[in-house]
Amino acid sequence: DGGITQSPKYLFRKEGQNVTLSCEQNLNHDAMYWYRQDPGQGLRLIYYSQIVNDFQKGDIAEGYSVSREKKESFPLTVTSAQKNPTAFYLCASRAIAGNGELFFGEGSRLTVL
Amino acid sequence: AQTVTQSQPEMSVQEAETVTLSCTYDTSESDYYLFWYKQPPSRQMILVIRQEAYKQQNATENRFSVNFQKAAKSFSLKISDSQLGDAAMYFCANNNDMRFGAGTRLTVKP
């Protein structure tokens, strides 16, 4: 089945450690997105990419990094520079042409101990 | 840059009644799509309905319909015959920059 896979679903990290969240899609979508969601809050855009080897900062990119070496993959690294990394992270993708509906993964819950 | 605004943090509706969730947006594009997504407690994002800006007719999907006012840049969601399973967070978004509103938490009372 086509879709977006995020892993891990739950992740614990000690302060000062970097952690990478995986996002893979087999929908042949050009664009991929990372969002952060805090409890009871909306989705805030971290980074997005519309083509391989290119990506742009969203509204809250500080303390995060991404790469887009393959069309299918858009991993997010939460670095030690992110002051408050505990959150729910959602990855999404969409075709740039057409109606541009976003397809979402199931999310990754990161907790910093 | 907040381009989508949802002014109702919480809404409540009686089962079988109708409720309307509000959304306004800002864009300089003439052609775009608008979306309502639902996020139940499972946190999986589910597309509820989409609207093409160049279509004058309001989109409808079963019990869900929109009131799209292009000049006013308003895009409200109407849920008819509300069901307990409609309880969730609802987010609106446009496809120009894929940013979302802050969300509206809908409670359905039995």
CB–CB contact A92 B45 (8 Å):
yes
Confidence of residue A27 (pLDDT cuts 50, 70, 90): very high
pLDDT at residue A28, rounded to an integer: 94
| Residues A43-63: tens digit of each pLDDT | 999 999 999 999 999 999 999
| Residues A90-102: tens digit of each pLDDT | 999 998 877 778 9
Which among A42, A45, A99 is the nearest to B91, CB-wise? A42
In chain B, helix, strand, coil percent, each to 5?
A: 5, 50, 50
List CB contacts (< 8 A) between B104 and chain A. none
Which residue type occupies A68? R
Shortest distance, CA A16 to any CA of chain B (angstroms): 28
| Residues B34-63: tens digit of each pLDDT | 999 999 999 999 999 999 998 889 999 999
* Beta strand spans in B1-110 (E): 4-5, 10-14, 19-21, 24-25, 33-39, 46-52, 60-61, 64-69, 74-79, 88-94, 104-109
Give the SS3 label for residue B41.
Answer: coil
Confidence of residue A19 (pLDDT cuts 50, 70, 90): very high
Confidence of residue B2 (pLDDT cuts 50, 70, 90): low
| Residues A60-89: tens digit of each pLDDT | 999 999 999 999 999 999 998 888 999 999
